[in-house]
Amino acid sequence: MNVWNDRQIIQDQIEYYRARANEYDEWFYRQGRFDRGTANNQHWFAEVAVVQQALQQVGKVDRILELACGTGIWTQELLTLGNQITAIDASTEVLEINRHKLGASSQVIYQQRDLFTWEPEQQYDLVFFSFWLSHVPPQRLTAFLQTVANALQADGKLFIIDSRFEPTSTANNHVLVDDGNLIKTRKLNDGKEFQIVKKFYQPDELQQELRAIDIDADVKVTERYFIYAIGERSNANA
């Protein structure tokens, strides 16, 4: 992927998630093409529970920023932690589903933004994003993470969740090959295809990327499916 086609992929990703909005939750809840059988599904949900518990360990905070919030699968978790959530996504379609799922909670402020042009308007006690970092083109990673760091209060926390490379995590008609190509083809239920970026981070690698923006992070993996990080500014306790 070169810089020339980077903007095209970013736009394609936005279009993909807009078109997928109504079927997105099938992935997380292991339905339809994402149903990989009882044993795999049980593994998935047990590992989701591990990550949910880790998120709860952050404890109560006042203001949360959720980037690429999607349909609200994690926004509803964040609502148990924070007084106010700013939830940002590029897709009006997913924002509408999120708003509906959360009962139009007055505690959530929705903003439609492209995260590659967005700048934070304030600082937050917790910045959270799930299954988003893997879609950031590597040449944009440092700039994106620096913007994230700018959105954090001095003692604010960062929580990231993403995918591990595991073929049963995706749809049964997606072929997940470890060929080093970060551009992947994704299909909708109707067969329509899109190109997206998908980078699978290793814990050491993610820890180093966060160190580069002065975030000390504890990065963990679940047995098969997830990588997650909890971080704070390296001078937070100074």
Ligand X SMILES: C[S@@+](CC[C@H](N)C(=O)[O-])C[C@H]1O[C@@H](n2cnc3c(N)ncnc32)[C@H](O)[C@@H]1O
Residues that bind ligand X (CB under 6 A): 10, 13-14, 17, 68-70, 73-74, 89-91, 94, 114-116, 130-132
Closest CA to 69 of 34, 17, 117: 17
Residue with tokens 């999120």: 98
For 14-28, give the DSSP string: HHHHHHHGGGTHHHH
Taking the least distance from each CB to ligand X, the nearer of 86 and 91 is: 91
- Beta carbon nearer to ligand X, 10 or 79: 10
Distance in Å, CB of 234 to ligand X, minimum? 26
- Shortest distance, position 119 Cβ to ligand X, whole Å: 13
CB of 129 to ligand X, least distance (A): 6
Residue 50, SS3?
A: helix
Question: Considering beta carbons, is residue 74 or 159 the nearer one to ligand X?
Answer: 74
Nearest CB to ligand X, comparing residues 17 and 124? 17
- By beta carbon distance, the residue nearest ligand X is 70
Q: Which is nearer to ligand X, 63 or 135 (CB)?
A: 135
CB atoms within 10 A of CB 107: 12
- Starting at the earlier edge strand, list the strands of the sheet with 152-163: 108-112, 82-89, 61-67, 124-130, 152-163, 226-233, 215-221
How many beta carbons lie within 10 A of that of residue 40, not counting itself?
16
Minimal distance, residue 83 CB to ligand X, in Å: 20
Q: How far is the CB of 191 from ligand X (least distance, A)?
A: 20
